[in-house]
Amino acid sequence: MVNPDFWITIAQVSATFVGLVFVGLSIYLTSIRAAANEVEADLGMVEQSSRVMFVSVLSNLSFFVLPVIASLSLIAQQSRLDVPNLFWLSSVICLLLYCVLLWGHENNKTRQQVRLILSERAEGSKKLLHWRVEVGKWPLYLLVPIYIVLLAVILVGQPPILKAEDWLEGVTLFSIALGLSYGILDLILFDVKNILFRVSDRVRGYVERVQHDLQRQAQEVEQLYHEYETIIQSHDYQEELERLAHDPRIISMLSPTGVQEQVQAEQARIRSQYNRLREEIPADGEAKLVQQIKAKGQILTYAEIKMFREQTECLFRDISSYKDLLEDRLRSFEERGIQANGAG
């Protein structure tokens, strides 16, 4: 016996979720479009998430639409409508939904976009997105035929098979649970930071300019650093340290050992900064962050693009700060007459 209260509740809940999916989609499209316009204007990169997002939203809607179809069909049965016609109408709607799902997932454009996303190095959200589209479609492919069979048994079965409605109730709850689970996954996948973009020629040029500028500035720092190292090894510098270690004004604040320790600590800090700089920008290769962005392949997320730009700006600031430090120390040596050749 059909439980009308259960199916009325299912119809209301499922219809509410359908509405929420559309509301969420409109909000997401607004934020995604803003980010896509920003990246396209700055770097000429074309957004690659739209079709995969459309397919994911379509499948998510289907998990809620199927319970709506089932609940309305069983509610209508209790209202004494023409049951055979009702079954055929429900079946046609389910089959149309099935065809739309097949078209969305299996058409060439969708498959090409999925292959493009995974054409290089798939990790993080890219791998999850592939799973969402390629693996996540199979529950729907199975649910639609199961719904049609169970509705046929309940609506036109003579006599109805025992427990068919219980099976349909279980399948319906399972469908709603899957819809909610996929919805949460979609919230993560289609967050602005996970929007996918295809690398453009302008981006490749930008990355090469970053590499060129980093190497140029690293070479300037290299010259300053070697000049600094040469001076602190010179006879003039050692004499200056000896003088400072016995200067009464300094001894009143620091012991001779304290002066030596302070100088050594600064030298160690400068050497450490130089070594870190050379780890980030090898003398005979590409900068580490340039290697990392190239290794990600032809598809980048919005977060990866933003992180690369932030890391680039941070590295340039660090180089500039370190360069200023070296120039300040060299200027101080010059003012005190300390030279690399030891001729004071």
State the pLDDT confidence band at 118, using cuts at 50, 70 and 90. Answer: low
What's the pLDDT score for residue 343? Answer: 43
pLDDT in tens, 216-246: 999 999 999 999 999 988 888 877 777 766 6
What is the structure's pLDDT at 160? 60
The two tokens of residue 51 are 């079709």
Residue 298 pLDDT: 83
pLDDT, tens only, 156-168: 766 666 688 889 9
**To the nearest whole percent, how much of the chain has pLDDT over 90?**
34
Tens of pLDDT, residue by residue over 147-156, are: 988 888 887 7
Task: Indicate if the pLDDT at residue 146 is higher than 70.
Answer: yes
Across the chain, what does the average pLDDT equal? 83
Provide DSSP, 9-30: HHHHHHHHHHHHHHHHHHHHHH
Report which of residues 116 and 284 the model is more confident about. 284
**Residue 277 and residue 318 in contact, taking contact as beta carbons nearer than 8 Å:** yes
User: How far is Cα 148 from Cα 181, in angstroms, rounded to an integer?
Assistant: 23
Q: Using a cut of 0.85, tell me whether the model's pTM lies above it.
A: no
User: 319 near 218, Cβ under 8 Å?
Assistant: yes
Amino acid 344: pLDDT? 41
Q: CB of 175 within 8 A of CB of 67? A: yes
The answer, yes or no, to whether residue 1 has pLDDT greater than 60, is: no
Mean pLDDT of 181-194: 85
Instruction: Return the higher-pLDDT residue of 135 and 320.
Output: 320
């003579």: which residue's tokens? 158
The pLDDT assigned to 84 comes to 58
Question: Residues 78-101: what's their mean pLDDT?
Answer: 76
